[in-house]
Structure 1
């Protein structure tokens, strides 16, 4: 008899029939039958940004070399291939990004372009530039930026002619992000550049994505999503409402994976395919998220994709975070359609691509073989490897490659002899885990209206069992781990460890 780990669905009542639980911490869905550990953040080196990371992008040049660009309130930084520290590559004088605003990046060919409120669009050409500079061509300032087909498009704009236009998008000349002709000019029409104000009560533009499954792009508003469709001359792009009542209050929650854009909507988490949104968190995590997130710091919510583990992640500050530093991580496994949760202290997460180091170049990192923060066979040192990166509260680059965080998980609840109206007496269980140092508690209750009462923790013995003593109608197990493992499945109840006890 087995008690598998329950699905993570804290929105459901504790007496649910689907076997879901709200008590799963520091575990990610790994397979349809098991859960995997969450690695703690391991700092790459002591190099740090000056203040909170407000955006990051991994860019790839024509030689397949990987660069990390990021920004804080006053500077833009580059971590070059084989580098050992962040280099300040800001334009002369730096920047002043207001509180609550972020940097957004896009790559077009060999050019990285950065946008933030109140700042001129910034440009850095890989293998050529030594610092960011204002993007040529007289583009507007903008909060958001993306690449759609052969165009760079910006949204929520400001320029000297139109002023602040939070519902306006503008795009460059075809295949030339350094040319932004004057609105209404003959040159604009000839080069397929243009702009569009999308009026309505949908609020401000909150983000842009390109190249979705059922549209060439999408404009996210506070209370709506509009499809972007390339039409050619004379209109160039058409804009059509796809979601009339749903948008996003958290711009950095929007994260794209192939043909889908995942995002935090007004009422929960969704995936948008270019025509419609698919709910992901209904009856599972939506209500719990909104009850726990610190609403004063919604602008710090940030999404990222871990394609290796098939996870979409959302880092957010809970109500326990008084200063807005994120301390919670929700994850969704799109292949398994399951959620997980972890406690992570970080200010930003992103999909990283490692830059690659040889044994010789490791010397330049400042580490010795004895002080390396990662093992020599870690993906961190191999170039071109995808893994999840983060910036910790000290503004340092880190990876989720540390020792597994201590985890807790409840199994489904079982009524072994309910058909006979009898309670069950349980004396031992076997944790179904391939490592760590598991302990088990048994939760018991005789009525569904009661909360489970848990026994004291029992450690695993030489026979692979955790001795327990429980006598009740309903039984569940709570497993806690400390150490490394690969798969956690639940507990197994040996046949000689459970029998009927008592009668109604």
Structure 2
């Protein structure tokens, strides 16, 4: 019997000519030994009153539970667990507007949640007060400029993507984000016009600020002894960000999308590294809406070392402009990709919300109910959250989605043809299906011929009767099946005569 065929890394760009990679890994996450399941979204909330145009989960500075804030093109809303509804916290004295194709940008500064968009003055709200839903957002003091992006560097608030001066970044006074002076020697607030590299297309804060432009990446370093508050030095030329909200910072790593594909940048670690080249870049470019590449959104999956890149599909209904049809998932620890075909509107790193006692079904005196000091009521368990197509908050902790994975081409009786009687699957799933594909050569003139799908017998052996020189197995694990890993197939094959 031939050796087991491992489920190879997902690299559809080269899978047709490279037998070490696979063209299919759908609704799975990479593991060192194969793949694991992606869990279905479980809605927590009622729907927003309009399409979601950005969302964030922030932890209360006082209590250990997350607070969810989401925005539409005209308003901001906070989610309350007591009634599972979104409560409007829009500033009643300010008109909100998020331009088409844009999203809200969020930042946390101490106890404040800050929000901005190119069509709205910078907004502020105290996080703990915001959760109560009794006090709306207000304009940030000091008349800061409108901006598409924001971030915190040290104790400065930095605004970028300024509509009126697109090659400029501006920052507040140190420790006072409601003071925005310009060019005053006794003040630390100021601005920097960048001489080249094109318009600013994104920003990431932290110990250093990282400015993404159309054709350059710069680092903002606090430099008070130089006569300037910040030194904006070039990190990399002829490299930038094409999608403003496809910039995800995790520790020293920043993941982003440029014109030619996906990259990772480690601050202080040299130039950016291509992570999608000859693996998923051409796959992405063939599926994304070429007019809406800038709507691609990157967000972290906090349950693992993973980043998701959700994008708008080509041919998507123009009447639904904020729908992100599918996503690519990258595990930076394993340096492997997979594909998720679940449509969403936005995504975020999140946690389970606190559970209101009023929402408990049955009586709290029921012996089967958890005690009132159970951690479930406090929330805080790390999860990935999304805003669904119907604009509801959902966490990905439901039953597994339908998963489809595929082996590379294998020559099981080299150099002869082989007859495969069937296969076993290395997995802990009780329910799975296999479709065998056969062909006589790897040339484009001999496409794969797929046989009928078969289910395993009680001996966990799926019959096939597949004769060919090259074999490929496509595995499907139905939605709702409980499983944790799938790693390889074990073919039951014998050599056939040559012809």
TM-score by length of structure 2 reads 0.90
Work out the CA distance in 2 between the residues paired with 1:382 and 1:312: 27
SS of 2:343's partner is: strand
SS of 2:292's partner is: helix
Q: Given that residues 415 and 473 in structure 1 are in contact (C-alpha distance below 8 angstroms), is that contact kept between their aligned partners in structure 2?
A: yes
Answering whether residue 162 of structure 2 is matched by residue 157 of structure 1, we say: yes
Q: For structure 2, which runs of at least 5 residues remain unmatched after alignment?
A: 364-368
- How far apart are residue 402 of structure 1 and its match? 2.5
Any idea what the Cα deviations from partners look like across 1:338-387, whole Å, max 9, x if unmatched? Answer: 000010111111111222215x2434xxx779xxxxx99x9986611221
In structure 1, the partner of 2:366 is none
Work out the CA distance in 1 between the residues paired with 2:450 and 2:288: 28
CA-atom RMSD in angstroms: 2.2
Answering whether residue 359 of structure 2 is matched by residue 362 of structure 1, we say: yes
Superposed counterparts of 1:101-500, under 5 Å: 101-128=102-129, 130-157=135-162, 164-181=164-181, 183-185=182-184, 189-200=185-196, 202-211=197-206, 216-233=208-225, 234-274=227-267, 275-323=270-318, 324=321, 325-357=323-355, 360-363=357-360, 383-418=379-414, 421-449=415-443, 450-482=446-478, 483-493=481-491, 497-500=492-495
Q: Given that residues 102 and 295 in structure 2 are in contact (C-alpha distance below 8 angstroms), is that contact kept between their aligned partners in structure 1?
A: no
After superposition, the Cα gap between the structure-2 partners of 1:110 and 1:489, relative to the gap in structure 1 and judged at 3 Å, is: same
Answering whether residue 51 of structure 2 is matched by residue 56 of structure 1, we say: no
Q: Given that residues 354 and 381 in structure 1 are in contact (C-alpha distance below 8 angstroms), is that contact kept between their aligned partners in structure 2?
A: no
- How far apart are residue 437 of structure 1 and its match? 1.6
Q: Given that residues 3 and 476 in structure 1 are in contact (C-alpha distance below 8 angstroms), is that contact kept between their aligned partners in structure 2?
A: no
In structure 2, the partner of 1:8 is 10
Q: Given that residues 34 and 487 in structure 1 are in contact (C-alpha distance below 8 angstroms), is that contact kept between their aligned partners in structure 2?
A: yes
Any idea what the Cα deviations from partners look like across 1:34-75, whole Å, max 9, x if unmatched? Answer: 211112222113x22222222222222322342112211000
Any idea what the Cα deviations from partners look like across 1:134-164, whole Å, max 9, x if unmatched? Answer: 0012211111100011111001225xxxxx1
Work out the CA distance in 2 between the residues paired with 1:380 and 1:465: 42
Answering whether residue 87 of structure 2 is matched by residue 90 of structure 1, we say: no
Work out the CA distance in 2 between the residues paired with 1:395 and 1:57: 14
Work out the CA distance in 1 between the residues paired with 2:126 and 2:188: 24
- How far apart are residue 81 of structure 1 and its match? 6.7
- How far apart are residue 230 of structure 1 and its match? 1.1
Q: Given that residues 309 and 327 in structure 2 are in contact (C-alpha distance below 8 angstroms), is that contact kept between their aligned partners in structure 1?
A: yes
Q: For structure 1, which runs of at least 5 residues remain unmatched after alignment?
A: 159-163, 370-374
Superposed counterparts of 1:22-101, under 5 Å: 22-29=23-30, 31-45=31-45, 47-63=46-62, 64-80=64-80, 84-93=84-93, 94-101=95-102
TM-score by length of structure 1 reads 0.89
- How far apart are residue 13 of structure 1 and its match? 4.7
After superposition, the Cα gap between the structure-2 partners of 1:406 and 1:361, relative to the gap in structure 1 and judged at 3 Å, is: same
Work out the CA distance in 2 between the residues paired with 1:178 and 1:292: 44
Work out the CA distance in 1 between the residues paired with 2:41 and 2:190: 44
Work out the CA distance in 2 between the residues paired with 1:381 and 1:446: 60
SS of 1:402's partner is: strand
In structure 2, the partner of 1:161 is none
Query: What is the aligned residue count?
Result: 474
Q: Given that residues 387 and 393 in structure 2 are in contact (C-alpha distance below 8 angstroms), is that contact kept between their aligned partners in structure 1?
A: yes
